[in-house]
Chains A and B, each alone.
Chain A
């Protein structure tokens, strides 16, 4: 199975719209599975018209731990407070005991180890729910939603990828829709991918974030292709991005025009390829370019 991750750095440039239509186009000739790795705000399945309540399964998962106080054993020495690197412990001056804050604890156990009285214990937190459902196009989407305020998104992303692997059932391709940004969850999404599609738009922000995201991808040495969405909004800026791609030997696999149908498709919960058939050739073309790219890179790997 080949894993293709779609990312952008900047949010709202069209990652999920493009991921969904690419998935539908690929599924006509390949067996595929999708993994929504934006665990902060997961909504890829919505683009397919698949609601959370229509999933086959949801279950809580634990990828995180937290600390809590055993009050009777605490002698108020404040060592835990001084040790916590995440500012997750406050001091209750009235009762002379530490307070473990609602947000911030990373479950690192430093406070548990430093406490001379064994007054701190570590417990497992259900920090996310994970599930899968079948789209009307016949393939599965695996998603997760982090519980509000919980940390550990990188590990939850890994859990989504693991479940997608389990459910892949000899799929040819896994499509991963990554979160915005370039932090922990995006790094976890990109790890182990065979190919990365970076989506950008011709705006100063889109371009700046693209360059930062691609640096993360380059760190892992993963081959990459570029899609310029809404390229005709600022053609001269798009040219600038094209020059950048050429200088860095990144293949441009599509220029997608600005079209209000993209918004209407989203509003109607139908992938654009299905909502507006005039976009079919565009996505079929992306599929064939993607296949070429994967073949070329396979060859390169073999030669090495």
Chain B
């Protein structure tokens, strides 16, 4: 290895289906890498952030995250109804000759109403949509975003944490990004800054179905990826052979299906199975 030029490597841990072990792998991998490198773990599952629970790290509040929302000056409003007509997210309900009713939780802050209002009656205010946290433990640093309850747009929280990340990323050898379940905007936004990704899947038809989706996404984003099969056991080998035979070269580790691992997980202890060391070795290489 050339020690003169050390580039920060950003690794996304994702999977499509929920509960396949994304956070388990992300936290265990971060802990393993932190034994020899400077590591930042970023929890981008902003709806249900759990990495701090898995590692028992105390989260420190950094700041609130805000989103802009429109505000009406009813002295200027002519009740023309245009804002309600244009609002794509149905956050503004306006009937002609009656004033607009605004539902802040539906608003994505696009600004179309502000631009369109013929009497310039709409300006901006802001709503609180989430929080940024940081923490330390296991010789690693930790960063996390959390969506406020009933706020729909997780992607904004991810975007904000990405800005935070931009400021500090050069301080680290490795940054591990744990994404949410699914393949939606917040997952896409999280993956976009990754140099490489690990898709964590389980050998069930559901796990494989969703893994195909995330592989499709990673291919479109042109992010190189590897696969980790969690809850692997011999009896399911036919599924693995049959359905993901074509990805076989990409499977860099398998984690067995064991009640011991599940019990450790349920007690909030990071797993130390040798498969995690295998993944770490591959990543460092």
Residues of B within 8 A of A161 (CB): none
5 pairs of residues in contact across A and B, judged by CB atoms under 8 Å? A110-B115, A113-B116, A182-B48, A186-B47, A267-B205
B253 to chain A, nearest CB (A): 19
Within 8 A of B (CB), among A20-62: 38, 40-41, 43, 46-47
Residues of A within 8 A of B119 (CB): none
Pairwise interchain contact A108-B265, C-beta atoms closer than 8 A: no
Tell me if B76 counts as interface (CB < 8 A to partner A): no
Could you tell me the distance between the alpha carbons of A187 and B151 in the complex, rounded to whole angstroms? 9
Given A41-B17, A180-B182: A148 and B116 interface contact (C-beta under 8 Å):
no
Pairwise interchain contact A46-B209, C-beta atoms closer than 8 A: yes
User: Which candidate, B28-36, B134-142, B183-191, B272-280, is the interface stretch facing chain A?
Assistant: B183-191
Could you tell me the distance between the alpha carbons of A86 and B155 in the complex, rounded to whole angstroms? 9
Tell me if B60 counts as interface (CB < 8 A to partner A): no
B110 to chain A, nearest CB (A): 3
Pairwise interchain contact A85-B109, C-beta atoms closer than 8 A: yes
Pairwise interchain contact B108-A103, C-beta atoms closer than 8 A: no
Pairwise interchain contact A41-B181, C-beta atoms closer than 8 A: yes
Given A47-B206, A201-B266: A183 and B19 interface contact (C-beta under 8 Å):
no
* Cβ contact of B220, chosen from A148, A180, A205, cutoff 8 A: A148
Pairwise interchain contact A110-B112, C-beta atoms closer than 8 A: yes
Pairwise interchain contact A12-B17, C-beta atoms closer than 8 A: yes
Pairwise interchain contact A85-B111, C-beta atoms closer than 8 A: yes
Pairwise interchain contact B88-A233, C-beta atoms closer than 8 A: no
Given A10-B18, A16-B206, A43-B206: A85 and B47 interface contact (C-beta under 8 Å):
no
Per-position binary interface string of chain A over residues 224-263, scored 1 when its CB falls under 8 Å from any chain B CB and 0 otherwise: 0000001001100100000000000000000000100001
By size class, the interface of chain A is: 35 or more
Pairwise interchain contact B266-A234, C-beta atoms closer than 8 A: yes
User: Which candidate, A90-98, A168-176, A209-217, A285-293, is the interface stretch facing chain B?
Assistant: A209-217
**Chain B: which residue is nearest A207 at the CB level?**
B53
Given A184-B153, A205-B54, A209-B50: A233 and B209 interface contact (C-beta under 8 Å):
no
Could you tell me the distance between the alpha carbons of A216 and B147 in the complex, rounded to whole angstroms? 12
9 closest pairs, A vs B, by CB?
A12-B19, A11-B18, A108-B110, A180-B18, A40-B182, A181-B47, A184-B152, A205-B50, A204-B53
User: Which candidate, B94-102, B167-175, B256-264, is the interface stretch facing chain A?
Assistant: B256-264
B103 to chain A, nearest CB (A): 12
Pairwise interchain contact A266-B204, C-beta atoms closer than 8 A: yes
Pairwise interchain contact B205-A269, C-beta atoms closer than 8 A: yes
Tell me if B150 counts as interface (CB < 8 A to partner A): yes
Tell me if B20 counts as interface (CB < 8 A to partner A): yes
**Chain B: which residue is nearest A109 at the CB level?**
B112
Pairwise interchain contact A180-B48, C-beta atoms closer than 8 A: yes
Known: A12-B181, A43-B209. 9 other contacts (CB 8 A): A11-B181, A106-B88, A146-B184, A183-B153, A184-B154, A204-B266, A204-B268, A219-B149, A269-B205
Tell me if B84 counts as interface (CB < 8 A to partner A): no
Per-position binary interface string of chain A over residues 74-113, scored 1 when its CB falls under 8 Å from any chain B CB and 0 otherwise: 0000000001011100000000000000111011111001
**Chain B: which residue is nearest A187 at the CB level?**
B152
Pairwise interchain contact A10-B48, C-beta atoms closer than 8 A: yes
Pairwise interchain contact A41-B263, C-beta atoms closer than 8 A: no
Tell me if B216 counts as interface (CB < 8 A to partner A): yes
Could you tell me the distance between the alpha carbons of A113 and B216 in the complex, rounded to whole angstroms? 34
Tell me if A193 counts as interface (CB < 8 A to partner B): no
Residues of B within 8 A of A204 (CB): 50, 53-54, 266, 268
Pairwise interchain contact B154-A41, C-beta atoms closer than 8 A: no
Given A208-B53, A219-B149, A267-B204: A203 and B115 interface contact (C-beta under 8 Å):
no
By size class, the interface of chain B is: 35 or more
B75 to chain A, nearest CB (A): 24
Residues of A within 8 A of B210 (CB): 41, 43
Given A40-B184, A149-B188: A110 and B110 interface contact (C-beta under 8 Å):
yes
A44 to chain B, nearest CB (A): 9
Pairwise interchain contact B184-A153, C-beta atoms closer than 8 A: yes
Tell me if A151 counts as interface (CB < 8 A to partner B): yes
Most buried by A among B110, B184, B213, B217: B184
Tell me if B270 counts as interface (CB < 8 A to partner A): no
Pairwise interchain contact B183-A40, C-beta atoms closer than 8 A: yes
Tell me if A9 counts as interface (CB < 8 A to partner B): yes
Could you tell me the distance between the alpha carbons of A93 and B181 in the complex, rounded to whole angstroms? 36
Pairwise interchain contact B48-A46, C-beta atoms closer than 8 A: no
Within 8 A of B (CB), among A129-165: 146, 148-149, 151, 153-154
* Cβ contact of A205, chosen from B53, B182, B184, B205, cutoff 8 A: B53
Pairwise interchain contact A148-B216, C-beta atoms closer than 8 A: yes
Pairwise interchain contact B266-A237, C-beta atoms closer than 8 A: yes
Tell me if B159 counts as interface (CB < 8 A to partner A): yes
Residues of B within 8 A of A185 (CB): 184
Residues of A within 8 A of B220 (CB): 102, 148-149
Residues of B within 8 A of A16 (CB): 206
Residues of A within 8 A of B23 (CB): 205
Pairwise interchain contact A212-B47, C-beta atoms closer than 8 A: yes
Residues of B within 8 A of A263 (CB): 204, 231, 257
Could you tell me the distance between the alpha carbons of A146 and B183 in the complex, rounded to whole angstroms? 9
* Cβ contact of B149, chosen from A13, A102, A153, A215, cutoff 8 A: A215
Tell me if A271 counts as interface (CB < 8 A to partner B): no
A237 to chain B, nearest CB (A): 6
Given A9-B48, A148-B213, A234-B267: A85 and B110 interface contact (C-beta under 8 Å):
yes
